[in-house]
Every structure is written in structure tokens, then in C-alpha cells.
Amino acid sequence: MGASGSGKTTLLNVLSTIDSPTEGSITLGGIDIQRLSDNAAADFRRDRLGFIFQEYFLLDSLTVQENIAVPLTLIGTPSHKIDTMVQKLAERFGIASLLGKYPAQLSGGQRQRTAAARALVKSPDILFADEPTGALDSASASALLKKLSEVNEELKTTILMVTHDAYAASFASRILIFKDGRITKALHRKEETSSHFYTRILNAVSSLEQ
């Protein structure tokens, strides 16, 4: 968490093999990702990572079902398995009734839930979310964050989210606050309500700005 330019997205890009660090090493799942070739890094991203961005990046010419299925189609998953996997995630994200629709027919929240389902359809080891609620209204943002929390708790999917929004951050179990490219503070969620954790986050950010 941090303001624009604090280094959040740079860290996400380095951890997800999109960019390389100038020094040091990064190990994910026992693999030193800095030693991967460009092709191996691309395979690693395809097979083990999921991504959600502020922009939805849905394919306008494909239906919701087809958009969610894209990662499975690319690796040759049998169609009967694709249908089952897509249906399960569509039900989890409340978009099962929209599977036959196209992105242009969806609200912003529905598009982002479609993008989230697509990112999770291959059961990635880590889901990287870069400002996933940045383009959503408050109700849609809250709905998406609750669904992602369920995925984390029930499917045990690790989620690394970048945000500048304290409310979005309050859904996390651990927060690293960035300023000028450095981690300046770490917060862990205790046995507390979301509203109490939200207040602690605001206080932590405020203290760094003084």
C-alpha cells in the first residue's frame, strides 16, 4: 500500500517476473525466478500466476464464458472440463447468469468479476492484483473485495494486492506500506473487525505523512 510512485507496482512486476530487479534474488515456490529464461518466465507466469488489473482487459468479441475460459483453452484443456471449471467460478463470483453476454453488456463490477474469475480459473499459486478496485464504484469494489477474501480463505490462494486505498487494504491479513521505494511500516490484522483494522491503517498512513 502507498501513494502513486511509491514503488508498489514495481515490486509486483518484479515478483511476477514481468521485470527484473537490479540486485538481489526472488524465490517463488522454490524457484529462483531471476534465473529463468524469458521463455521459461513466460511459462511460469502462464502456469502458476494469475493477474487482475485496474483495467479489465477482456476480449470484446468473446462472451463472459469464453473470456474466463481463455487461459484453459490456451493450454488445451478438454472442453467438458473447461465448462465445469468456468461454471464453478462464475457461480462463486455471482456472474453465472451472465456467461452468454459480452463485455459491452456488463457493468464495471461485472467486468472486473469476470476478469477475476479468468485469473483464478487455473488455480494459480499466487494472484497478483494491481489496483483491482481502482475503476469501480464503492459497492462494486466492496463486492469484489469480499469475493477475493473468500477465495483466499476457502481456496487458500495467496493474493498480493497493490492499492492506495485504505478500505481495500483493510481486507488483507498483512499490509506493507511503501514510501519512496521503501517499506516503511508493516501491519498485521489481529482478531479485530474490519472497521477497527481500517482505522489502524488510516492512523499508520497519517503518521507517515506527518
Residue 189 falls inside a structural domain: no
pLDDT tens-digit map of 22-36:
888 899 988 999 889
pLDDT of residue 65: 98
Residue 174 falls inside a structural domain: no
pLDDT tens-digit map of 66-121:
999 999 998 889 999 999 999 999 999 999 999 999 999 999 999 999 999 999 99
Question: What is the residue-wise DSSP string for 73-86?
Answer: HHTT--HHHHHHHH
pLDDT tens-digit map of 147-206:
999 999 999 999 999 999 999 999 999 999 998 889 999 999 988 888 899 999 999 988
Closest CA to 172 of 6, 208, 153, 180: 153
Residue 173 falls inside a structural domain: no
Please give the model's pTM, rounded to 2 decimal places.
Answer: 0.90
pLDDT of residue 194: 83
**Structural domain boundaries, residue 103:** 8-147+157-164
d(CA 93, CA 100): 15
Report how many domains make up the chain: 1
Residue 209 falls inside a structural domain: no
CATH number (domain holding residue 42): 3.40.50.300
Long-range contacts of 24-32 (CB under 8 A, 24+ apart): 28/125, 28/126, 29/125
